Amino acid sequence: MKFGTTPDGQPVERIQLSNGRLSVAVLTLGAIIQSIELPDGADVVLGLDSVSDYLERSRYFGAVVGRFGNRIADGAFTLDGVPYELARNNNGHALHGGLKGFDKRVWSASRDGDHAVRLSLVSEDGEEGYPGRLSVSVTYTLDGDELQIAYEATTDAPTVLNLTNHSYFNLADAPDVRGHVLTMEADGYLEVDEGKIPVPGGPVPVAGTPYDFTTPTAIGERLEGRYDHCYVLRPGGGIVVEEPVSGRSMRVRTTEPGVQFYTGHMLDGVVTPYQAFAGFCLETQHFPDSPNRPDFPSTVLRPGEVHRSETGYRFDCNRL
């Protein structure tokens, strides 16, 4: 069904997926997950009501961000000896693809029955400063109580790529996520500077720090619940979030090496319609500033290669 129209006249569609357990609404704008409704009727992601809201008030709510999710220091990197300058849209750094990243693009959609949809777009060579003509797709599939997200991309020239979904989750029946209990199989995290760029050196062990979620811990128990850090997952490591009052939980699995854990403390209730701590993000991804950090897992994609990654969010309502 039609959701709205962009300022330049492009129609935006709203696609409803359902499998009898989950009901998920996806927009062709930004490949956005607008809602995830559980069997108990709860909508557990933050969504907006119009195209203009997503273009003007959103903080990447539910969107696929790219070409490079997270930050690249000083909006610059060198690949194969060639320097590239990117759009700088976050305190002098490049964030989530630039001024018009994938979250602001209208994607083409192809449905697979009621339970899956594939969205695709082409990012031309030089868009936001990135090299190579990139063809990218994301497929949302409902499988029982799990929403699966599969990414795929190819390029005609060497480039860098870091795709993720930026949904804000809230499993509670209240507008604050600090009571959620998080368990994360991650023994290290990336320490960052004031610009949220990883500092020199490898991951910092979480043991004995406020960043340790290897055992179940309430989000708001430490640091006033203010987190915006990339965690280094154990190989095959998963994540569990439980909301003790509602009885709802979410399990996250991914093929990615890291996850950006952000607690929404910078939501302001003015520019966005949501107050601080209204939702948390678990953005499965490669590490920030990887193009400038040869010690990090590579985010380089070359012609002839196919980028593939997958993340799954499995929900449970213990009250049912």
Question: Do residues 305 and 153 lie in contact, with contact meaning Cβ atoms separated by under 8 Å?
Answer: no
> Which conformational region is residue 45 in: left (phi greater than 0), alpha (psi within -120 to 50 degrees), or beta?
beta
Amino acid at 160: V
Sheet containing strand 239-243, edge to edge, reads 108-112, 116-123, 134-143, 146-155, 307-317, 248-254, 239-243, 181-184, 217-218
Gyration radius of the chain over CA positions:
19
> Catalytic: which of 37, 256, 283, 307?
283
236 Cβ neighbours under 8 A, 6+ residues apart:
none
**For residue 119, what is the enclosing H or E element?**
strand 116-123
DSSP string, 181-238: EEEE-EEEE--B-TTSPBPSSSPEE-TTSTT--SS-EEGGGSGGG--EEEEEEPTT--
Number of alpha carbons in the 13 Å side-chain half-sphere of residue 147: 23
> Catalytic: which of 166, 229, 265, 286?
166
Strand, helix or coil for residue 88: coil
Distance CA 161, CA 67 (A): 6
Residue 52 DSSP symbol: H
Q: Is residue 166 annotated as part of the catalytic site, yes or no?
A: yes
Question: Do residues 163 and 136 lie in contact, with contact meaning Cβ atoms separated by under 8 Å?
Answer: yes
Distance CA 289, CA 274 (A): 29
Active site (catalytic) residues: 166, 283
